Amino acid sequence: MSITKEKIVEYAQNLGAVLVGFAPSSRWDEYGEVADAYRPNEIWPETKTVIVLGVPILLPILETTPSINYLEQYDTSNILLDQLAYRLAVFLTEQGHASIFLPRDGYGDIHVLVDKPVAAFSHVFAAKYAGLGTIGYSHMVLNEKYGPRVRYVSVFTNLEVEPDVVITKDLCTKCEICKKLCPSGAFTTREDQIIADMNKQACSEYHVTLCEEHRYPCGVCSKVCPIGQDRKLFNSKNISLYLKEREAITQDPNDPEYARWVHVRQHGSKGNRII
């Protein structure tokens, strides 16, 4: 007997997945937004369903970016996601449903990304097609509960599972706070649509510096986005704090509003960066 959707969700949640969504592989053809070679059926022709798993990034740690603490959270989320996806793929395969997973971060190191900024498979589009959020100005998936502060991974299976509904109303308000505060100036507005043009190379080059300092990745566009109920939960609703951050810390590194973030940045990474 075929395994049920509920059983898959339960298994993934018991392993630690917080968000679980299901997209039929046909959705990539239906939407036509992703180049042919990057669609699930081109990568593995047996694919019938893509199961997308997500775990949240905890906002107060992200707020310390760029820092070793955020680096550790980011690396841990990647390890967790790859383990979740691997274990779910093996579980389904053992149940008689051939499955594989695509790793969270499919690149050798940051220098590779400068030359080749596109991954073999986009978990962003997978999350959109699995009904977990909409793609915002910053090219990230915005989820109702966690905004862009979710990391995703994908399992491909030959099992047909009832798909989740794609969210059609954009969660992004196009406030452009992410553009304003991006340290590499990577975003350029397109009048005709929500999603910005993105200079991925500029973003990657900034990450080379952060990587050398052991405070990678940047994550500012994720930190400052006002979308997400997690802001209320963490009592971090004052977006103007971000807007004034650079100027305030430059004027006074001991400014009490920012002291806790500066404190973390001063430990565990190379250099004396405080912003």
Q: Which region, left, alpha or beta, applies to residue 185 given φ > 0 means left and ψ of -120 to 50 means alpha?
A: left
Positions touching ligand SF4 (CB under 6 A) are 136-138, 172-178, 182-184, 186, 203, 206, 218-221, 224-227
Residue (9 or 114) nearer to ligand SF4, CB: 114
| Rg from Cα positions in the chain | 19
Cα 218 to Cα 212: distance, rounded to the nearest angstrom: 13
CB of 45 to ligand SF4, least distance (A): 34
Residue (126 or 195) nearer to ligand SF4, CB: 195
Residue (103 or 183) nearer to ligand SF4, CB: 183
CB of 191 to ligand SF4, least distance (A): 14
Residue (70 or 91) nearer to ligand SF4, CB: 70
> DSSP code of 50?
E
CB of 140 to ligand SF4, least distance (A): 7
**Cβ within 8 Å of residue 206, ≥6 positions away:** 183, 184, 218
CB of 214 to ligand SF4, least distance (A): 17
